[in-house]
Chain A
Amino acid sequence: MLHERLIDALGADAVKTAPEDLAVYAFDAYTTGRLPSAVVLPRSTNDVSAVVRIARAYDEPIVPRGAGTGLCGGAVPACGGIVISFTRMNRLLEFDPVRRRARVQPGLVNLELSKQIASSGLFYAPDPSSQKVSTIGGNVATNAGGPHCLSYGTTVNHVLGLEIVDERGDVFQTSIDDTGYDLTSALVGSEGTLGIVTAVWVRLLRQPESTRVWLATFPDVEAASDAVSAIVANGIVPTALEMMDRTAARAVEAAFHAGYPTDCGAVLLIENAGYEDDMQACESALAAIARERGATSWRAARSQNERDALWAGRKGAAGAMGRISPNYYLQDVCVRRSTLPKALHAVEEIARTYRLTVANVFHAGDGNLHPMLCYDKRDPSQVQAVIESGNEILRAAIALGGTVSGEHGIGFEKREAMTAVYSTDDLAAMARVRDVFDPQRVLNPEKIFPSGSACPEVRPQSA
Chain B
Amino acid sequence: MSIEALAAQLAAAHRERTSVTIVGGNTLRGMGRPAATATGILSTAGLNAIVEDAPADLTIAAQGGVTLRTLAQTLAPHGTHVPFDAPVASEATLGGTLAAGWLGPRRHLYGRPRDLVIGSTIVLADGTLARAGGMVVKNVAGYDMSRLYVGSFGTLGVLAQVNLKTLPQPERRRAFAVRLPEHTRGRAIAVLSSLRVPPAAAFWIEGFAAQIDGDDGLEGRLLVFLECSATILEAATRDLRSALGRAGVPETRVIDAGVRESFERAIDAYVACIGERSITYRVNGPLDEAENAALGAIELARRFELRTDSLVDVMNGDVILRVSDLDARALGSKIEMFDDALHDLAPRAIVIAGNHPSRPLLNVWGALPEGFERMRALKHRFDPHGVLNPGRFVGGL
Contacts A/B (CB < 8 Å), 5 sampled: A143-B144, A209-B196, A277-B232, A409-B140, A430-B145
Chain B, interface residues (CB within 8 Å), range: 35 or more
* B-chain residues with CB within 8 Å of residue A172 when the two chains form the complex: 370-371, 374
Q: How far is A229 from B128 in the complex, measured between Cα atoms in Å?
A: 36
- Which B residues have a C-beta under 8 Å from some C-beta of A? 54-59, 78-80, 101, 111-112, 114-115, 122, 124, 128-132, 134-145, 147-148, 150-152, 156, 167-169, 196-197, 228-229, 231-232, 235, 284, 286-288, 348, 350, 365-366, 368-372, 374-375, 377-378, 381-382, 393-395, 397
For A430, give its contact among B128, B142, B368 (CB under 8 Å). Answer: B142
**A237 with B58, Cβ < 8 A, contacts A180-B375, A182-B150 known:** yes
From A335, which residue of chain B is reached at the shortest CB distance? B136
Evaluate contact between B375 and A181: CB separation under 8 angstroms: yes
Residues of A within 8 A of B393 (CB): 180
B231 in complex: contacting residue of A153, A154, A281, A363, CB < 8 Å = A281
Complex contacts, B381 vs chain A, CB 8 Å:
432-433, 435-436
| Chain A residues closer than 8 Å to B284, beta-carbon distance | 177
A425 within 8 A of B: yes
Question: Roughly how many angstroms separate A157 CA and B117 CA in the complex, as a whole number?
Answer: 12
1/0 per position for A170-195, CB-CB distance to B under 8 A?
Answer: 00111111111111011011100010
Q: Contact between A182 and B57 (Cβ–Cβ < 8 Å)?
A: no
Q: Check B371 against A183 for contact (C-beta < 8 Å).
A: yes
Contacts from A to B (Cβ < 8 Å):
98-99, 142-143, 145, 149, 153-154, 156-157, 172-183, 185-186, 188-190, 194, 209, 229, 232-233, 235-237, 275, 277-278, 280-281, 334-338, 363, 366-368, 401-410, 414, 418, 421-423, 425-430, 432-433, 435-437, 448
Rounded to whole Å, the gap between the CB of B13 and the closest CB of chain A is 18
Would you call A180 and B231 a contact (CB within 8 A)? no
Kindly state the separation between the CA atoms of A428 and B130 in the bound complex, as whole angstroms: 8
Residues of B within 8 A of A433 (CB): 143, 145, 148, 378, 381
| B152 contacts across to A, CB distance below 8 A | 181-182
Name the residue of chain A whose CB is nearest to the CB of B169: A235
Given contacts A429-B124, A430-B143, contact A366 B138 (CB under 8 A): yes
Among A406, A408, A418, the residue within 8 A (CB) of B136 is A406
Q: Which of B57, B150, B378 contacts A436 (CB 8 A)?
A: B378
Check A403 against B55 for contact (C-beta < 8 Å). Answer: no
Cβ-defined contact, A178 with B370, below 8 A: yes
Question: Which residue among A142, A232, A277 has the maximum number of chain B CB atoms within 10 Å of its CB?
Answer: A277
Question: In the docked arrangement, what's the CA distance between A186 and B382, Å?
Answer: 15
Contacts of A178 in B (CB 8 A): 369-371
Q: Do B140 and A405 touch (CB < 8 A)?
A: yes
Tell whether A232 pairs with B56 under 8 Å between CB atoms, given A153-B115, A407-B138: yes
The reply to whether A235 and B79 contact each other, CB–CB distance below 8 Å, is yes
CB distance from B43 to the nearest CB of A (A): 23
Question: Is B394 touching A180 in the complex (CB atoms < 8 A)?
Answer: yes
B58 interface neighbour in A185, A232, A404, A428, Cβ under 8 Å: A232
Ranked 3 nearest A-B pairs via Cβ: A185-B147, A178-B369, A429-B130
CA distance A407 to B220 in the complex (A): 47
Q: Which of A157, A278, A338, A366 contacts B111 (CB 8 A)?
A: A157
15 new A-B contacts, CB < 8 A, other than A99-B286, A336-B135, A402-B136, are: A179-B366, A181-B148, A181-B371, A182-B151, A183-B374, A233-B56, A275-B196, A277-B229, A337-B56, A337-B58, A367-B136, A368-B138, A401-B134, A423-B131, A433-B143
Contact of A157 among B115, B232, B287 (CB under 8 A): B115
B142 x A422 contact (CB < 8 A) = yes
Question: How far, in whole Å, are A402 and B128 apart by their CA atoms in the complex?
Answer: 23
B354 to chain A: closest CB distance in Å?
A: 17
Structural contact, A181 and B151, CB atoms closer than 8 A: yes
Total A-B Cβ pairs within 8 A: 212
Instruction: Closest B residue to A404 by CB, please name it.
Output: B141
Query: Once the chains bind, are B130 and A426 in contact (CB under 8 Å)?
Result: yes
Q: Within the complex, what minimum Cβ distance (angstroms) separates A444 from chain B?
A: 13
**CB-CB < 8 A to B101: which residues of A?**
182
Docked CA distance A404–B136 (Å):
11
B111 touches A401 (CB 8 A): no
Task: Name the distance in Å between B173's Cβ and chain A's nearest Cβ.
Answer: 16
Q: Tell me which of B55, B132, B143, B378 has the highest count of chain A C-beta atoms within 10 A of its own C-beta.
A: B143
**A427 in complex: contacting residue of B115, B142, B144, CB < 8 Å:** B142
Q: Which of B115, B140, B369, B394 has the most CB of A within 10 A?
A: B140
Bound state CA distance, A175 and B54, in angstroms?
33
Which residues on B sit within 8 Å (CB–CB) of A275?
196-197, 228-229, 232
Question: Distance in Å from the Cβ of A94 to the closest Cβ of chain B?
Answer: 14
Say yes or no: B350 contacts A179, CB within 8 Å.
yes
CB <8 Å contact, B130 and A235: no
Contact partners of A429 in chain B: CB under 8 A: 122, 124, 128, 130, 132, 145, 382
Which residues of the other chain, B, contact A423 by a CB distance below 8 angstroms?
Answer: 130-131
Which residues of chain B are within 8 angstroms of A277 by Cβ–Cβ distance? 229, 231-232, 235
Q: Provided the pairs A172-B371, A426-B130, A430-B145 are in contact, do residues A232 and B138 lie with their beta carbons within 8 angstroms?
A: no
| Residues on the A chain within 8 Å of B169, using CB | 235
| Nearest Cβ on chain B to A211's Cβ, whole angstroms | 15
Residues of A within 8 A of B374 (CB): 172, 183, 436-437
- Are A406 and B140 in contact, with the CB atoms below 8 A? yes
Q: Is the CB of A402 within 8 A of B131?
A: no
Expressed in whole angstroms, the Cα–Cα distance for A423 and B348 within the complex equals: 39
Q: Can you name the residue of chain B whose Cβ is closest to the Cβ of A449?
A: B142
How close is A411's CB to chain B, nearest CB, in angstroms?
10
Choice from A177, A183, A190, A425 contacting B375 with Cβ under 8 Å: A183
Establish whether residues B57 and A334, one from each chain, have CB atoms under 8 Å apart when the complex forms. no
Task: With both chains docked as a complex, state the minimum distance between the C-beta of B381 and any C-beta of chain A, in angstroms.
Answer: 5
B138 touches A154 (CB 8 A): yes
A229 to B231, CA, bound (A): 25
- Whether A281 touches B229, Cβ cut-off 8 Å, given contacts A99-B286, A402-B136, is yes
Distance between Cα atoms of A402 and B137 in the complex (Å) = 10
Query: Which B residues lie within 8 Å of A189 (CB)?
Result: 140, 143-144
Known interface pairs A182-B147, A183-B371; A425-B135 also in contact (CB < 8 Å) = no
If A188-B144, A337-B56, A429-B124 touch, whether A237 touches B168 (CB-CB below 8 Å) is: yes
Is A179 in contact with B78, judged by CB distance below 8 angstroms? Answer: no
CA separation between A232 and B56, bound complex, in Å? 7
A171 to chain B, nearest CB (A): 10
Report Cα–Cα, A354/B56, bound state, in Å.
32
Nearest B residue (CB) for A100:
B287
Question: Which residue of A has the minimal Cβ distance to B58?
Answer: A232
Residue among A175, A181, A335, A427 facing the most chain B CB atoms (10 A cut-off) = A181
Q: B84: shortest Cβ distance to chain A, in Å?
A: 16
Q: Which of A237, A427, A430 contacts B167 (CB 8 A)?
A: A237
Docked pose: A175 CA to B372 CA in angstroms: 12
A177 to B59, CA, bound (A): 27
Residues of B within 8 A of A402 (CB): 134, 136
Q: Are A425 and B128 in contact (CB under 8 A)?
A: yes
Known contacts being A157-B111, A402-B136, is A278 close to B130, with CB within 8 Å? no
What residues of B have a CB within 8 angstroms of the CB of A421 in the complex?
A: 134, 141
Q: Which residue of B lies closest to A436 (CB)?
A: B377
